[in-house]
């Protein structure tokens, strides 16, 4: 009698487990796999369509004319805006459909994590754009500052252009890290210190490079006043 009761208990438990797996979980698993496969196909289609659109519009040629190609090549990469944007869109759709599959399987922890990833992707895109624009602006402004300082006859052109270039880069890095939400309090402290450093460096540069020109200007002004008397 005891063995029969144990057998009935095990049989009932196994039947319930089998029913829960076959009747409840297995259909959800199949549906989740189908949804993810569809999402992967949709993501790949969007990726290729975006690449073709960017190439047909010759976006890379326009960006190269604006000067974006050289900074990207210096970073060891090739200018391919279509593949960059298409890759972001592709992974966005993959994560979205993966989130849907996780919800189908009632994987709440995975679903919450994927929601955070989806919310974070735009920040990554904006951070990449900030660095790309900084690479272009830093070179242009540095050359402009050097030309202006050289035209003024100051000897601190290379130093000032270097300071301006690295200042733009550091501002861009700060903005990128803030966009990514990395250590905001620490970055604020470093930013304050960096601004103070720029003020001191600018004063030193003018003092070293513009001392003779300032003395010459004052002497010329003194002579003009004496002649008028």
How much is the pLDDT for 171? 82
Judge if 228 and 166 occupy the same domain. yes
Q: Could you tell me if residue 193 is inside a domain?
A: yes
What are 68-113's pLDDT values in tens digits?
Answer: 777 777 767 787 888 888 888 898 889 889 888 888 888 887 788 8
Q: How far apart are CA 60 and CA 129, in angstroms?
A: 15
Q: Which residue has the tokens 């993966």?
A: 98
Write the DSSP assignment of the chain as a string of letters: -HHHHHHHHHHHHHHHHHHIIIIIIHHHHHHHHHHHHHHHHHHHHHHHHHHHHHHHTTHHHHHHHTT-HHHHHHTT----HHHHHHHHHHHHHHHHHHHHHHHHTT-HHHHHHHHHHHHHHHHHHHHHHHHHHHHHHHHHHHHHHHHHHHHTT-S-HHHHHHHHHHHHHHHHHHHHHHHTT--HHHHHHHHHHHHHHHHHHHHHHHHHHSHHHHHHHHHHHHHHHHHH-
Judge if 91 and 158 occupy the same domain. no
Q: How far apart are CA 124 and CA 102, in angstroms?
A: 23
Q: Which of 38-47, 146-155, 192-201 has the lowest mean pLDDT?
A: 192-201
Residue 43: band (very low, low, confident or very high) from pLDDT cuts 50, 70, 90 = very high
Residue 64: band (very low, low, confident or very high) from pLDDT cuts 50, 70, 90 = confident
Judge if 125 and 68 occupy the same domain. no
Q: Which of 23-27, 46-50, 124-128 has the lowest mean pLDDT?
A: 23-27
Judge if 141 and 64 occupy the same domain. no
How much is the pLDDT for 40? 93
Q: Contact at 8 Å (CB) between 60 and 79? A: yes
Judge if 201 and 145 occupy the same domain. yes
Q: Could you tell me if residue 116 is inside a domain?
A: no
Residue 189, both tokens: 């402290």
Residue 177, both tokens: 């890290």
Judge if 168 and 228 occupy the same domain. yes
> What residues have CB less than 8 Å from 9, skipping those under 6 apart?
none
What are 192-229's pLDDT values in tens digits?
Answer: 666 666 566 555 555 555 555 545 545 554 555 455 45
* Pick from 200, 215, 201: nearest CA to 159: 201
Residues of the domain holding 206:
121-229
Looking at per-residue pLDDT, the higher value among 26 and 199 belongs to 26
Judge if 211 and 138 occupy the same domain. yes
Looking at per-residue pLDDT, the higher value among 211 and 191 belongs to 191
* Pick from 105, 115, 77, 102: nearest CA to 21: 105
Angle at 71 between CA 69 and CA 73, to 5 degrees: 65
Judge if 97 and 189 occupy the same domain. no
Does the pTM exceed 0.85? no
pLDDT, mean over the chain: 74
Judge if 142 and 219 occupy the same domain. yes
Q: Could you tell me if residue 112 is inside a domain?
A: no
Judge if 155 and 76 occupy the same domain. no
What does each C-alpha distance from 41 to 37, 47, 66 come to in angstroms?
6, 10, 35
How much is the pLDDT for 105? 82
Q: Contact at 8 Å (CB) between 131 and 84? A: no
How much is the pLDDT for 136? 77
Q: Does the pLDDT value for residue 160 go beyond 80?
A: no
């Amino acid at each position: 009698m005891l063995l029969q009761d144990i057998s009935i208990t095990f049989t009932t438990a196994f039947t319930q487990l089998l029913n829960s797996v076959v009747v409840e979980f297995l259909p959800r698993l199949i549906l989740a796999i189908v949804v993810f496969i569809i999402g992967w196909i949709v993501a790949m289609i969007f990726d290729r369509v975006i690449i073709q659109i960017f190439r047909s519009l010759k976006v890379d040629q326009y960006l190269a004319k604006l000067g974006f190609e050289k900074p990207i090549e210096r970073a060891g990469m090739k200018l391919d805006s279509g593949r960059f944007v298409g890759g972001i869109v592709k992974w966005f759709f993959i994560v979205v459909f993966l989130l849907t599959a996780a919800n189908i399987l009632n994987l709440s922890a995975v679903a919450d994590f994927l929601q955070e990833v989806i919310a974070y992707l735009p920040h990554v895109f904006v951070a990449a754009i900030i660095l790309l624009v900084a690479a272009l602006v830093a070179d242009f402004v540095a050359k402009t500052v050097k030309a202006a300082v050289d035209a003024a006859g100051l000897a601190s052109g290379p130093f000032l252009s270097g300071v301006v270039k690295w200042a733009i880069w550091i501002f861009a890095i700060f903005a990128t890290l803030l966009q990514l939400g990395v250590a905001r309090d620490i970055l604020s402290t470093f930013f304050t210190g960096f601004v103070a450093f720029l003020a001191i460096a600018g004063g030193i540069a003018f003092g070293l490079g513009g001392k003779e020109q300032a003395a010459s200007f004052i002497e010329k002004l003194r002579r003009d006043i004496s002649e008028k008397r």
